Amino acid sequence: MDNQSLDNTPQTDTPQLPTAEPIQASTDTQPVAGFRAPAHPKRLLLVEDDDALANVYLMRLEAEGFDVRRVANGEDALAAALGYHPDLILLDVMMPKVSGFDVLDILRNTPETANLKIVMLTALSQESDKQRAESLGVDDYLVKSQVVIADVIDRIKHHLGVN
């Protein structure tokens, strides 16, 4: 008896895929010519207690292609810096639990996070506050009332070396 007589399925014009041997995973790791694997998005940790402002930044940063995690206080920022492994932290100063200055100080004195890029984005515009941040090792200090979001994005990209 042939296979045709055992098949009771109606005949259609839809082509059927032939059965093939199982495909073996390739051990060849060479890239295909002309194909460039997408780069992993840079990870940003957004530390901001103002929900409205955080949501605006979160949406814009994600639209720019960043992988963003947001936390609302300094204590969570410290935990996230160790667990999430961001490429850059956008850090507010005046926050509940642990201030941004203290977060900066702790991160700079922790071997696993000492070299993280940290950009402070704060309402504090006093020169003494900026000097304090610089003495603690901040990479950049931006005053919220003096920048627009495009400026912040430009500074983040500058520090990450991306266009």
> Which pLDDT score, from 0 to 100, does residue 140 have?
97
Which tens digit of pLDDT belongs to each residue from 26-85? 444 444 455 444 568 999 999 999 999 999 999 999 999 999 999 999 999 999 999 999
Instruction: Indicate the DSSP class of residue 91.
Output: E
> Which pLDDT score, from 0 to 100, does residue 17 have?
44
Q: How far apart are the first and last CA of the chain?
A: 67
| 107 domain residue, yes or no | yes
Q: 9 is written with which tokens? A: 């399925």
| 69 domain residue, yes or no | yes
89 DSSP β-pair partners? 45, 118
If one counts the domains in the chain, the total is 1
| 21 domain residue, yes or no | no
Q: 122 is written with which tokens? A: 């704060």
Which tens digit of pLDDT belongs to each residue from 90-125? 999 999 899 999 999 999 999 999 999 999 999 999
| 62 domain residue, yes or no | yes
> Which pLDDT score, from 0 to 100, does residue 39 have?
64
Q: Transcribe 29-77 into DSSP letters.
A: -PPPTT--PPPPPPEEEEE-S-HHHHHHHHHHHHHTT-EEEEESSHHHH
Residues spanned by the domain of 79:
43-160
Q: Which helix (H) or strand (E) holds 71?
A: strand 67-71
Whether 85 contacts 43, CB under 8 Å: yes
Q: 146 is written with which tokens? A: 């003096």
| 12 domain residue, yes or no | no
- CATH number, domain with residue 119: 3.40.50.2300
Alpha-carbon span 141 to 128, nearest angstrom: 12
> Which pLDDT score, from 0 to 100, does residue 24 have?
46
| 154 domain residue, yes or no | yes
